[in-house]
Amino acid sequence: MTVISKVKQTLATLKGAQGTLRIYSIQERDEEAKVAYNKALEVTNEIIEDIEAQLNTIEFEEPQYKAH
C-alpha cells in the first residue's frame, strides 16, 4: 500500500468516525455528553483539515498520485 493510499484510507476512516460522532451528538439527551461529542467533532474536523492539506501537498509534489 502506498503512502497516498494510507493517507486517503485514514481520511476516510476519520470522516466515518466524524459522522458517527455527529449522530451520537444529535441523539444524546445528556447535555454534558452532547458537549463532549461536539468537542470531539471539532477536534476531528481540525485533524481532517490537516490531513486534507497534507494530501494536497503530496499530490502537488508527487503528480503521479493525483486522482488515484
**3-state SS assignment for residue 30:** coil
pLDDT at 61: 83
What is the pTM (predicted TM-score) of this model? 0.83
pLDDT at 68: 52
CA distance 9 to 4: 8
Q: How many domains does the chain have?
A: 1
Widest Cα–Cα separation across the chain: 49
Run of H or E including 8: helix 3-27
Write out the residue range of the structural domain in which residue 9 sits.
3-65
pLDDT tens for residues 15-56?
999 999 999 999 999 999 999 999 999 999 999 999 999 999
Nine cell digits for residue 15:
470522516
| Residue pair 15/7 in contact by the 8 Å Cβ criterion | no
